[in-house]
């Protein structure tokens, strides 16, 4: 989401005549687009700001701005302790950027705007995308789910959806600019609701935009993944056979305390249903360990779901208390060493599942969208399968943005290796 928001900000700055530079020390204006999701993300911002402060000492006219989710929580800290920060703007205030920059140049006063909006979706602003294969297209902003561990509803505000026509227009423009893949983005994509049009209908509208070769979306909430959505995914060839389905925890007691609104049983049934509707679909997940009150037995439920579902991959996190969220008030916080042990266990288990899942691909011919040159070997491409697996293979005269049939010959680590199976261009 921040990559996508940064592209919006770039559009605004470009319109005002600013240009992008390569390294921070060349810049007259430096923005940090921030994330508050875990403490680690915030720590990174603090250290980056420290470094930018040193640059500003060498170049005192440099303007430093803090954008995005940390704007609100940092507002006071910044005004009191970080006087070198000139501009603080929350995620709904980017439109004000040109005006604020202009004003700052005139009076050099610091400017702060962290108001959240019920309406802002930046519908008419086309992001300034980098070359590549994938175009992020934001379809909704904010979140009303209020999972008790999560800061997003506070930093990004209420849910609101962008118009279907704004979204399809942007997808079409991305196609014209050469992008092959569209990833629909939102904190909670399947809460999408624009004048009664829900996510499955939107997805099918995007699938019909001429020239869109691949569509992904992230992230859905398991509670709202329904048969209508799976039907749409099954119907359109260009919607990828892949779902990111955040589990968070396996224990019903913890899920309830997290306010996740589904049970372990529901989640497992849903994963089975997805595989039923979409054979071979890749399923990835997010898992939090060490949520307040998580007992050894609760944790074993998470392990149990992992063993039953066999995720293709997982993003795993230690619970990180976020000020202002409900879970920080629970008085049974888990010790760091317990969190660390649990994290190591889920990482190891996931590695073994990923390996098993990947080994099953050996011998398959997969359609791979070529994304970039392999870092290890200049004569190889890397790209992703429909189900979101990375594959490395010989270049064989093909190019970035081609979709090619690749025979999977080997599964190594988390990556598949293969060779082009036929010298024809796949659709
Ligand atoms: N601590 C740890 N992980 C978190 N996430 C969100 N909030 C927290 C937190 N306080 C994770 C969830 C979410 C992903 C984007 O980040 O797993 O799905
Ligand atoms: Fe946070 Fe996602 Fe829950 Fe919304 S649904 S509160 S973004 S974890």
Cis geometry, peptide bond prior to residue 219 (ω within 30 degrees of 0): yes
Distances (CA, A) of 103 to 6, 75, 189, 223: 21, 19, 36, 46
To 5 degrees, how large is the angle CA 310–CA 314–CA 318?
Answer: 125
- Does residue 382 line the site of ligand 2, with CB under 6 A? no
- Closest ligand 2 atom, residue 150 Cα: 1
- Does residue 319 line the site of ligand 1, with CB under 6 A? yes
Question: Which tokens belong to 251?
Answer: 């224990």
Best mutation site among 144, 153, 199, 258 for ligand 2, i.e. most ligand atoms within 8 A of its Cβ? 153
Q: How many whole angstroms from 164 Cα to the centroid of ligand 2?
A: 23
Class of residue 143 by CB neighbours under 10 A (exposed 0-12, middle 13-18, buried 19+): buried
Query: How far apart are the C-alpha atoms of 52 and 48, rounded to whole Å?
Result: 6
- Does residue 153 line the site of ligand 2, with CB under 6 A? yes
46 touches 82 (CB < 8 A): no
Provide the b/e sequence for 32-59 (b: ≥16 CB within 10 Å). bbbbbbbeeebeebeeebeebeebbeee
pLDDT at residue 78, rounded to an integer: 77
- Does residue 38 line the site of ligand 1, with CB under 6 A? yes
409 touches 402 (CB < 8 A): no
Query: pLDDT by residue (tens digit) across 34-56?
Result: 999 999 999 999 999 999 999 99
pLDDT at residue 69, rounded to an integer: 95
pLDDT at residue 341, rounded to an integer: 98
- Does residue 221 line the site of ligand 2, with CB under 6 A? yes
- Closest ligand 1 atom, residue 219 Cα: 18
Of 94, 114, 201, residue with least CA distance to 157: 114
- Radius of gyration of the chain from its Cα atoms, rounded to whole angstroms: 23
Tokens 């500003």: give the residue: 56
Provide the b/e sequence for 351-383 (b: ≥16 CB within 10 Å). eebbeebbeebeeeebbbbbbeebeeeeebbbb
Q: What are phi and psi of 119, to 5 degrees?
A: -120, -30
Q: Which ligand is nearest to the CA of 147?
A: 2
pLDDT tens, residue order, the chain (427 aa): 999 999 999 999 999 999 999 999 999 999 999 999 999 999 999 999 999 999 999 999 999 999 999 998 888 887 788 889 999 999 999 999 999 999 988 888 888 899 999 999 999 988 998 878 999 999 999 999 999 999 999 999 999 999 999 999 999 999 999 999 999 999 999 999 999 999 999 999 999 999 999 999 999 999 999 999 999 999 999 999 999 999 999 999 999 999 999 999 999 999 999 999 999 999 999 999 999 999 999 999 999 999 999 999 999 999 999 999 999 999 999 999 999 999 999 999 999 999 999 999 999 999 999 999 999 999 999 999 999 999 999 999 999 999 999 999 999 988 999 999 975 444 4
DSSP assignments along 296-327, one per residue: HHHHHHHHHHHHHH--SEEEEEE----TTSGG
Cβ neighbours for 3, distance < 8 A, ≥ 6 positions apart: 136
Atom 17, ligand 1: which residue's CA is nearest?
286
Length of the chain (residues): 427
- Does residue 158 line the site of ligand 2, with CB under 6 A? no
- Does residue 320 line the site of ligand 1, with CB under 6 A? yes
Query: Helix, strand, or coil here: 115?
Result: coil
To 5 degrees, how large is the angle CA 89–CA 93–CA 99?
Answer: 85
Best mutation site among 37, 43, 323 for ligand 1, i.e. most ligand atoms within 8 A of its Cβ? 37
Query: Helix, strand, or coil here: 355?
Result: helix
Question: Which tokens belong to 254?
Answer: 């913890």
DSSP assignments along 65-79, one per residue: EEEETHHHHHHHHHH
Q: Which ligand is nearest to the CA of 319?
A: 1
pLDDT at residue 224, rounded to an integer: 94
pLDDT at residue 285, rounded to an integer: 98
- Does residue 299 line the site of ligand 1, with CB under 6 A? no
- Does residue 150 line the site of ligand 2, with CB under 6 A? yes
Q: How many whole angstroms from 144 Cα to the centroid of ligand 1?
A: 15
Query: How far apart are the C-alpha atoms of 318 and 329, rounded to whole Å?
Result: 17
Query: pLDDT by residue (tens digit) across 83-141?
Result: 899 999 999 999 999 999 999 888 888 888 999 999 999 999 889 988 789 999 999 99
- Does residue 248 line the site of ligand 1, with CB under 6 A? yes
Query: Helix, strand, or coil here: 388?
Result: coil
Of 189, 263, 195, residue with least CA distance to 233: 189
């Amino acid at each position: 989401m921040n990559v996508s928001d940064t592209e919006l900000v770039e559009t605004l700055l470009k319109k005002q005549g600013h240009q992008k530079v390569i390294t921070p020390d060349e810049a007259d204006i430096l923005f940090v687009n921030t994330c508050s999701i875990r403490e680690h993300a915030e720590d990174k911002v603090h250290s980056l700001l420290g470094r930018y402060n040193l640059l500003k000492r060498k170049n005192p006219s440099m303007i430093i701005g803090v954008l995005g989710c940390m704007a609100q929580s940092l507002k006071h800290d910044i005004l009191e302790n970080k006087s070198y920060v000139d501009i603080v703007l929350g995620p709904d205030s980017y439109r004000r950027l040109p005006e604020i920059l202009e004003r700052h140049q005139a009076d050099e006063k610091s400017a702060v705007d962290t108001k959240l909006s019920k309406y802002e979706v930046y519908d008419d602003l086309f992001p300034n995308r980098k070359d590549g294969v994938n175009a992020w297209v934001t379809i909704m902003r904010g979140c009303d789910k209020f999972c008790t561990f999560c800061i997003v509803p506070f930093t990004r505000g209420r849910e609101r959806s962008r118009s279907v026509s704004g979204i399809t227009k942007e997808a079409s423009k991305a196609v014209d600019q050469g992008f092959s893949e569209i990833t629909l983005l939102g904190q909670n994509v399947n809460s999408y609701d624009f004048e009664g049009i829900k996510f499955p209908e939107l997805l099918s509208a995007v699938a019909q935009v001429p020239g869109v070769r691949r569509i992904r979306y992230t992230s859905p909430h398991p509670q709202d993944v329904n048969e209508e959505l799976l039907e749409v995914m099954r119907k359109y060839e260009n919607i990828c056979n892949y779902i990111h389905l955040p589990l968070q925890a396996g224990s019903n007691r913890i899920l309830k305390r997290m306010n996740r609104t589904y049970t372990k049983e529901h989640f497992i049934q849903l994963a089975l249903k997805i595989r039923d509707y979409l054979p071979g679909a890749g399923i990835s997940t997010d898992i939090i360990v060490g949520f307040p009150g998580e007992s050894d037995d609760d944790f074993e439920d998470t392990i149990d779901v992992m063993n039953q579902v066999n995720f293709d991959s997982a993003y795993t996190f230690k619970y990180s208390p976020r000020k202002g969220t409900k879970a920080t008030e629970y008085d049974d916080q888990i010790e760091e060493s317990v969190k660390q042990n649990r994290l190591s266990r889920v990482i190891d288990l996931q590695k073994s599942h990923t390996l098993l899942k990947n080994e099953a691909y050996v011998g398959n011919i997969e359609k791979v969208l070529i994304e970039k040159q392999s870092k290890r070997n200049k004569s190889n491409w890397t790209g992703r399968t429909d189900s979101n697996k990375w594959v490395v293979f010989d270049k064989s005269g093909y190019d970035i943005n081609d979709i090619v049939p690749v025979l999977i010959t080997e599964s190594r680590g988390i990556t598949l290796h293969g060779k082009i199976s036929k010298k024809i261009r796949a659709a």
